[in-house]
Amino acid sequence: MAMMPWAETPATRPWPTLGRVTPRTRGAAAWLLLALALWLAGMAPWAAQDFPPLTGRVVDTADLLDPGMEAALTEKLAAFEAQSSDQVVVATVPDLQGAEIADYANRLAREWAIGQKDEDNGVLLLVSRDDRKVRIEVGYGLEGTLTDALSTLVIQNDILPAFRSGDYPAGIVKGVDGILQVLSGDAAELEARAKRNESWSGGEVSDWLFTLFFVGVWVFVIGSFVMTNLARRHGKKIGKNRYRWLGMIWALNAAGASRRSGRGGFSGGGGFGGGGGGFSGGGGSFGGGGSSGSW
């Protein structure tokens, strides 16, 4: 059969050629490479993380608890698990190896598979000693009970006050007690205690503000009187009731009050800142519920 003049065979068909590289193409490639580099940099801390093994209900790799305290906590958590089936684990680490505590806690809880597989009823209390951060990580099945708000109350009212005073064992024990209290169905007492603490701290701040305002008024009145007399005595008179002193011009009225201008001045500011061997997880899953804090 004769081949048509315009027919192409695989041998004669021209290969497709790439288009000309334009500045826009180079720019897009550069952005893709930058995005890939940033993604790899963000993944680096995760890839380098070395999680401690799950050796018990209390894993104290930061050495914040003495053996007696660790044993008592382990016994308390084991008894609670036997009663409720909820599995609570305490972990302390020296640092987070450059990761965010929420990410680290979630990955650690999933690595350990805390809680039962069908219930997802695990809780991890994580303390990072050198990063000065704490996290309560809650399994899927307990997010409706130990909510983010209640986790925050436990951290803010039970854990952080003790941590800020340097008493890590007390903060951990109070945190565990607060968690178990909520899981036992007694969250109302935790909320009431938080309101009492808030009311007390609010009243204390109000008293300080009133005292500061009262003292400030008297300092201003007495200071104006003293400065007025000093300007009159030691300043250079440059006009009627006008004196130059300390680089400023003081205008004194008949009542002895003063107004000042010039290069000098006063300014200020302030504010208020306010276990045991043979233990393993049961396959629980975590989705990021919980709360974090720092001190």
Q: Write the pLDDT tens digit of every residue in 48-86.
A: 568 999 999 999 999 999 999 999 999 999 999 999 999
What is the rounded distance in angstroms from the CA atom of residue 264 to the CA atom of residue 249?
9
What is the rounded distance in angstroms from the CA atom of residue 228 to the CA atom of residue 235?
10
Hey, CA dihedral for 82, 88, 94, 97, is it positive or negative? positive
Helix segments in 6-66, DSSP class H = 23-48
pTM: 0.59
- The residues near 155 (Cβ < 8 Å, ≥ 6 apart) are 134, 136, 175, 291, 292, 293
> What tens digit of pLDDT does each residue of 227-271 get?
666 555 655 555 555 555 555 555 555 444 444 444 343 333 333
What is the rounded distance in angstroms from the CA atom of residue 91 to the CA atom of residue 70?
11
Q: Which domains does the chain have, with CATH numbers?
A: 58-194+283-294 (3.10.310.50)
What is the rounded distance in angstroms from the CA atom of residue 295 to the CA atom of residue 289?
21
> What tens digit of pLDDT does each residue of 169-200 get?
999 999 999 999 999 987 666 666 556 555 54
Hey, CA dihedral for 20, 24, 29, 30, is it positive or negative? positive
